[in-house]
Amino acid sequence: MVYDVSGALIPFNFSSVLERIPELKSLGLNLTVISFPKPVDSSNVDARHWTDMAYIIQSNYNQYDGFVILHGTDTMAYSASALSFMLEGLNKPVIFTGAQIPIGATRSDARENLITALEMAGKTENDVPIINEVCLYFNFVLLRGNRAQKIRSSTFGAFESENYSHLAESGVEIEYFKDKLLAHQHNNSLTYKTKFDPNVVVLKIFPNMTPDLVNGILNIRGLKGVVLESFGSGNTMNFNWFIQSLEEAINNGVIILNVSQCIGGSVLQGKYETSRKLLEIGVLSGYDITTEAALTKMMFLLGNQESQEAVKRMLTKPLRGEMTI
């Protein structure tokens, strides 16, 4: 966004990006700018926009060394997670970035984020990209896209990846942590999958939940998957009515994936008595996956796998480095 003459925020025309950020010329990169015909507030982003972004990458994949996606911060982690699953066999950098303060503001963080993201997207070693996955760059750190979460709204450090190390850090020099990055696979070819099943909900556990509330969610018509946001390391209340409601949903074909409400740590079903019952009735462990990655992964698998057993199997193993077992 930029400020117009009246002081109101309006979408930025990125065809003039070199005029706004002349420092980009010093990077020595050949840049092509592709913009959506109508800019979208990131709070309104959904699977249609993920498909559009992935299509642009897929259709231009052989012409460019890397891609930078400029995106609003509110749903950036969801979009980065979604594209990581859509772009199977990715062998080039796709880096999401954005800003907390509009590019037209004096103290905007947009310039540094964009400049460094572009520099990272063009970085090679022996003619091979250093980055070969979907990432998110913000406030001097590069994060795996499907590990990132927006945890702050009022500082430049909006994003963090509590369960996985930074992939790179920008200081006087850019330091890449190559042992944390997905390796380049010379024989990989890009496979582009676009289907997402929207019949998924997030059920966040909290004290004093009522049976009517839980059953109202679990009995939504057409429901296929639930991301269960539990306490701590995967714990929920062990009231009979609650366990029975979950078990009935599972018996009716609903897949339930247990993830932690905490931004750091892992689900350990069975460690405490309050999560042992979940294990027994067939609730799946999401280990240390984020809610954003769990939700997009479940929608993606339900949309692209033919059998429920395949969905369950793939939910509980890492596909793009999104979880640690």
Write the pLDDT tens digit of every residue in 136-170: 999 999 999 999 999 999 899 999 999 999 999 99
Residue 228 phi, psi dihedral angles, 5° rounding: -95, 110
Do 79 and 45 meet the contact criterion of CB atoms below 8 Å apart?
yes
Domain that holds residue 215: 200-315
Residues with Cβ within 8 Å of 238's Cβ and at least 6 positions away in sequence, in order, are 273, 274, 277
* 244 lies in the same domain as 178: no
* 14 lies in the same domain as 160: yes
* 40 lies in the same domain as 135: yes
Residue 11 has pLDDT above 70, yes or no: no
CATH number at residue 26: 3.40.50.1170
Domain count, the chain: 2
End-of-domain residue from the set 172, 192, 212: 192
Residue 123 has pLDDT above 80, yes or no: yes
Tokens at 243, concatenated: 């366990």
Burial of residue 118, with CB atoms counted within 10 A of its CB: 0-12 exposed, 13-18 middle, 19 or more buried = buried
> Within 10 A of 186 (CB to CB), how many other CB atoms are there?
7
Tokens at 125, concatenated: 């070693």
* 24 lies in the same domain as 127: yes
Look over the chain and give the mean of its residue pLDDT values, rounded to a whole number: 93
pLDDT in tens, 20-74: 777 887 888 888 889 888 888 899 999 999 999 999 999 999 999 999 999 999 9
Note the pTM of the prediction, 2 decimals: 0.94
- CA distances to 30, 99, 108, 238 from 25, in Å: 9, 20, 19, 60
CATH number at residue 270: 3.40.50.40
Rg (CA), the chain: 21
